[in-house]
Structure 1
Amino acid sequence: MSGWELSGYTPVRRLGAGASGSVVLATHDRTGTPVAIKYLVRDLGEDSSFRTAFRAEARLLGEVDDPHVSRLYEYVESPHGAAIVMELVDGVSLRQMLRAHGPTTPEAALCVLKGSLAGLAAAHANGVVHRDYKPENVLVTGAG
């Protein structure tokens, strides 16, 4: 993690990490809602131009309301870093699914592709560019 935790949330476990930060499963203390918190890598957070772009993208993402896009609940900046609090998706990454089960049927592949492309289209319609579209970042629910 980035060395700090958002107040009002209790961390449960680390979900993953990438080039721009780490993602933690947490619980909102007041409501008990499970959330995913992405903590921005500290070095990137100290770059004012990156932080400005991250803040602007978080604002745009907050305007996206689509079933194929994880909802943004909150963006937080502090002297310790920056983080986004997002809807927790009950599923696994496409990468995990492929590792566990191997190649999918063409029908299943089309179902996942359709959902992920619909999510990208909704984000792009609101000015959000994903920049890191890969199997690790495509989440697949039990419904596909």
Structure 2
Amino acid sequence: MKNYQDSDYAANKYASGIVYRFTTQTIEVTLEDYLRENSGKSEADFAELKAQSDKLFHEQDRSEGRQRKKMVSIHNIEETELVALPSPEDVNQEEAEKQTRCQIVNRALAALTEIQRRRYLQYHVNGLTLRQIAEVEGVVHSKIQKSLLAAEKKIKKILADG
């Protein structure tokens, strides 16, 4: 059974900052660090981010707990299908499907304008909000929203066409 005090959730919850644990080190981002690196932000922004990180770590901890409850005994497991390796044909088919998906994604992104592509990636890959993107680009957030809706419409059309 996992010790609660050693969990990422407990480490983050009881720290004044936001805790990031890596294999070789643990880093705590304090309010001072956050304000120094994000000149336009306030204590309220940090408190919101801290609350969000606590929530995410809590959800992760609960999910891991559910997974631990599902663990099965490994006695005689070598006789089951659980340890069977995929066949070479399955591996080749999965690789071909992955390449096809990559080609479709590349085609979809190539169909976007440079501005749409940049905004789409900032929003969906980098996780920026509409307002953050608008602030960076110096435009109103409704313009970003319209651009993303148009980009998503193009992408859906390409995905529907295959």
Shorter-chain TM-score tier = under 0.3
The structure with the largest strand share of the pair is 1
Considering Cα pairs closer than 8 Å and 6+ residues apart, tell me whether 1 or 2 has the greater RCO. 1
Give the structure with higher Rg (CA).
2
TM-score for both structures, normalised by structure 2: 0.26
